[in-house]
Amino acid sequence: MADKSPITTTKLLEMKQKGVKITALTAYDAPSARLLNEAGVDVILVGDSVGMVKLGYENTLPVTLEEMLHHVKAVKKGNSRSLLVADMPYLSYEIDLKDTLKAAGRLIKEGGAHAVKLEGGMEVAPMVKELLKINIPVMGHLGLTPQAVHRLGGYKVQGRKPQEAERILTEARVLEGSGIFSLVLECVPPELAREVTRKLSIPTIGIGAGAHCDGQILVLDDMLGLGDSPPLKFVKRYAELRPAMLKAVSSYCREVRDGAFPAAEHAFVSLKAE
Ligand code: KIV
């Protein structure tokens, strides 16, 4: 019988040790979380991608802690089994240690997340150690870190040059040393992802990082074809839902206008007088 017990950070480690691939997807609301549970997804990430995917922002930088909390709470309500990880939004962890601890604490205590994710290398390692001291597990994120989009000069593949690859490998080791339980590798060449995955004892979760990571993550809306822009190179569309939704909404408009909806079966019957 399939194991239905909740996914924990230690279970993810065991999965790496046994060579069982980890499945992860983003979710931003309760029905999506329920769907992901039903499908057996191991990790649900409430990513700050919510800013672009759901809130209409140009990038992830404007996302606030309150907005993250709003979505984490919703996902928590729909989630029963997956490990629930919440992104720490831009400027909630880079500046002040006390602010970092409070922000992460709120995502756990009020939001109901099991762990937080933060982007960056050496510079965030001290924060990771302090978060662990207050019992908050941390997922790292290296390679293309979207909160650094302006410094990186756009959404570009990272670690292509030997020096860059060496830096990412070093940072991965530093983060592992600081206590992260898992590491997202975004948009790096597959050979680098394989090297990092081999060298670390914690699981790596790839997005645009090839097949050698211990697990994979995608943005749910991207893999379902819900967005209105063409898919990025590393996204596989497992469904094309937007055209189906557009067709349904257009049919509704046409039927309301021409009187075909509502039909008799959609109306309530009156009760007869006694
Ligand atoms: O915000 C997000 O959705 C992410 C994933 C793409 C890894 O960080």
Digit-coded pLDDT (tens) for 167-215: 999 999 999 999 999 999 999 999 999 999 999 999 999 999 999 999 9
Mean pLDDT over all residues of the chain? Answer: 97
Which protein residue's CA is at the shortest distance from atom 5 of ligand 1?
47
pLDDT tens by residue, 123-179: 999 999 999 999 999 999 999 999 999 999 999 999 999 999 999 999 999 999 999
- How far is the C-alpha of 234 from the C-alpha of 226, rounded, in Å? 16
Q: Phi first, then psi: what are they for 49, rounded to 5°?
A: -60, -15
Sign, CA dihedral 202-207-208-211, equals positive
- Checking if the pLDDT of 33 tops 60, the result is yes
Coil, helix or strand for 89?
Answer: coil
Residue entry with tokens 């090839």: 210
CATH architecture of 9-240: Alpha-Beta Barrel (3.20)
Contact call for residues 125 and 178 (beta carbons, < 8 A): yes
Give this prediction's pTM.
0.97
Sequence ranges of the domains in the chain: 9-240
pLDDT for the residue 101: 98
What's the length of the chain? 274
- Residue 2 is predicted with a pLDDT of 64
Give the CA distances from residue 80 to residues 12, 35, 83, 93, in Å, rounded to whole numbers and listed in that order: 17, 11, 9, 28
Q: Is 180 exposed, middle or buried (0-12, 13-18, 19+ CB in 10 A)?
A: buried
- How far is the C-alpha of 12 from the C-alpha of 213, rounded, in Å? 13
Ligand 1 contacts (CB < 6 A) are 26, 45, 47-49, 87, 184, 186, 207, 217, 219
DSSP state of 88: P
Residue 274: its pLDDT value, please?
Answer: 76
Atom of ligand 1 nearest to the CA of 205: 7
Task: Name the residue at shortest CA distance from atom 2 of ligand 1.
Answer: 47
